[in-house]
Copies of this chain bind each other. A is one copy, B any other.
């Protein structure tokens, strides 16, 4: 249903990004990269949770070299996150990373950038040009202004200049881009603007999105809002805290937009003065009892027998709850009446018999 922007396809290891490929979920390890055991453990647990691509920080040569030990022990491709230093990028590439993320604007000079690009080209890996508002360096004639519109122009123009240089001077087009700020509106404006001006795959996210309770809403707005407009090829929810939350929220966003299988999805009404049951309890019981069912089914659990049946008619299976009893529906047709306490169990039985 979402008409996605046409972007060029690149590969991070064997994972395609862009060109109509499924939107991928990324995260970043929060361990010290040189602690190979801890980094491998965290990357594996993120992969199990559905992380498709993992990024690791490369603050020094030890971290860069550790990549050689990490890559063969994890099931997903690894991106080396580089700041400032061409040497670290070169070492990470030598260690077998599947992509590097750099911000050309914080490297020492263009000669260094050119060396990194040449190494990536030789290793046949892509580069993510990742520009954050905070890391934009004011340059002559490009004063960072406090006005938001100007930051958007500055960031978009900066990234496009980098890309042009990579393509024309270095003959390198294996590029993915990201433009992030800590502000939702600004980040969305950057991504909307640049999307119309190039065909590079877009990596979506925010910087400094805060702890999970703040990041969840902000990331859903930015990443989900842009994806709903067809923009974005790979996403990273960032939050201060457990990296598993990042992956969980990332998949929730994709699921909500139908950009990946949703599995069994429970819809439930907010309840109101018409409700005669503890609907939240019933919903939790249904979610728990159906957790093992790996089919794309929508189950609507509604709090009343007045609107419930009609509202639930679009779901494959519905339950409209009255006092003590719930009516089981299939595509709006009554199946049977079950006691409230038996709703979860009856639903599972019914779905398994379908």
Residues A182 and B134 in contact, CB atoms below 8 Å apart: no
> Closest Cβ of chain B: how far from A70's Cβ, in Å?
11
Chain copies in complex: 2
Q: Chain A: interface secondary structure?
A: mixed
Q: How far is the CA of A185 from the CA of B55 in the complex (A)?
A: 30
Interface residues of A in 160-185 (CB under 8 A from B): 181-185
Residues B314 and A182 in contact, CB atoms below 8 Å apart: yes
Query: Is the C-beta of A30 less than 8 angstroms from some C-beta in chain B?
Result: yes
Residues A280 and B221 in contact, CB atoms below 8 Å apart: no
- Looking across the interface, which residue of chain B has its beta carbon closest to that of A66? B273
**Interface code A219-244, partner B: CB below 8 Å = 1, 0 otherwise?**
01100111011000000001111010
> Closest Cβ of chain B: how far from A1's Cβ, in Å?
5
**Interface code A177-197, partner B: CB below 8 Å = 1, 0 otherwise?**
000011111101100000000
* A interface with B by C-beta (< 8 Å): 1-2, 28-34, 39, 55-59, 63, 81, 83-84, 106, 132-135, 148-149, 181-186, 188-189, 207-211, 214, 216-218, 220-221, 224-226, 228-229, 238-241, 243, 246, 249, 252-253, 256-258, 266-275, 279-280, 283-284, 287, 298, 300-304, 306-307, 310-315
> Closest Cβ of chain B: how far from A150's Cβ, in Å?
12
Q: How far is the CA of A228 from the CA of B218 in the complex (A)?
A: 11
Residues A240 and B30 in contact, CB atoms below 8 Å apart: no
Q: How far is the CA of A33 from the CA of B228 in the complex (A)?
A: 37
18 A-B contacts, Cβ less than 8 Å apart? A58-B273, A182-B267, A184-B224, A185-B257, A185-B258, A207-B269, A208-B269, A208-B302, A210-B266, A211-B266, A211-B284, A214-B266, A216-B216, A218-B252, A224-B224, A240-B268, A240-B271, A240-B279
Q: How far is the CA of A283 from the CA of B148 in the complex (A)?
A: 26
Residues A272 and B1 in contact, CB atoms below 8 Å apart: no
Residues B217 and A273 in contact, CB atoms below 8 Å apart: no
Residues B221 and A246 in contact, CB atoms below 8 Å apart: no
- Looking across the interface, which residue of chain B has its beta carbon closest to that of A253? B217
